[in-house]
Chain A
Amino acid sequence: KQEVTQIPAALSVPEGENLVLNCSFTDSAIYNLQWFRQDPGKGLTSLLLIQSSQREQTSGRLNASLDKSSGRSTLYIAASQPGDSATYLCAVSGLGNQFYFGTGTSLTVIP
């Protein structure tokens, strides 16, 4: 069964820093990988979707990479802002239309 791990579980950085969040998965047979943002008590907002044939995707200050063979993805956030404070989750999709979620990284950006 696919297992998705996110490290670190929590991260605190000063405003303006660049940072990297990590996501690893055990089965490389995926269709895509998606990064989400979740504010406390709320639903998930999709940030980036990387198809299995792609290596990276960019949106504004966010860049996500995918190395399927090694089972890893990173989410790079440039010039972090207090408004970026949230929990970031990754999810992979695989056979049988199943989606597997990581436990998330809780990010705090200190003004």
Chain B
Amino acid sequence: SAVISQKPSRDICQRGTSLTIQCQVDSQVTMMFWYRQQPGQSLTLIATANQGSEATYESGFVIDKFPISRPNLTFSTLTVSNMSPEDSSIYLCSVEGFSGGSGKLFFGSGTQLSVL
């Protein structure tokens, strides 16, 4: 299993500002995933962060809006830039562990973001 520490757990931000979310894993992992969960919705993958290379973004998400860092195999950050109320969501980091041959997802505790 993997233990993931994510912070902050929640924040209230002003429009136009940026927030950086940190994710620390207790073991080395190749890929880390960042998800967004808008109110009442399911999870949407923002990007996959690999150590030593640029993150891979999903359709609809761009690096200028959601820059990601992955300086080593246990840590990653996601920045939500130039925020608007539409960015109010829960942001989740996740890693994949391997159990019985295929991947099992582990999640951090989430960051609940409200933009005024």
As a 0/1 sequence over residues 80 to 111 of chain A, the CB contacts with chain B under 8 angstroms (1 = contact) are: 00000000010101000111011110000000
Of the four ranges (under 10, 10 to 19, 20 to 34, 35 or more), the interface on chain B belongs to 20 to 34
Contact B108 A43 (CB under 8 A): yes
Q: Which residue on A lies nearest to B111, using beta carbons?
A: A43
Task: Report how many A-B pairs have Cβ atoms within 8 Å.
Answer: 62
* Count of chain A residues near B, Cβ 8 A: 24
Main secondary structure of the interface of A (DSSP, over half): strand
Given A103-B42, A104-B42, CB of A97 within 8 Å of CB of B107: no
* Distance to closest chain B CB from A43 (angstroms): 4
* Chain A contacts with B in 29-44, Cβ cutoff 8 A: 31-32, 34, 36, 41-44
Interface residues of B (CB under 8 A from A): 4, 6, 10, 31, 33, 41-43, 45, 90, 92, 94, 96, 99-110, 112
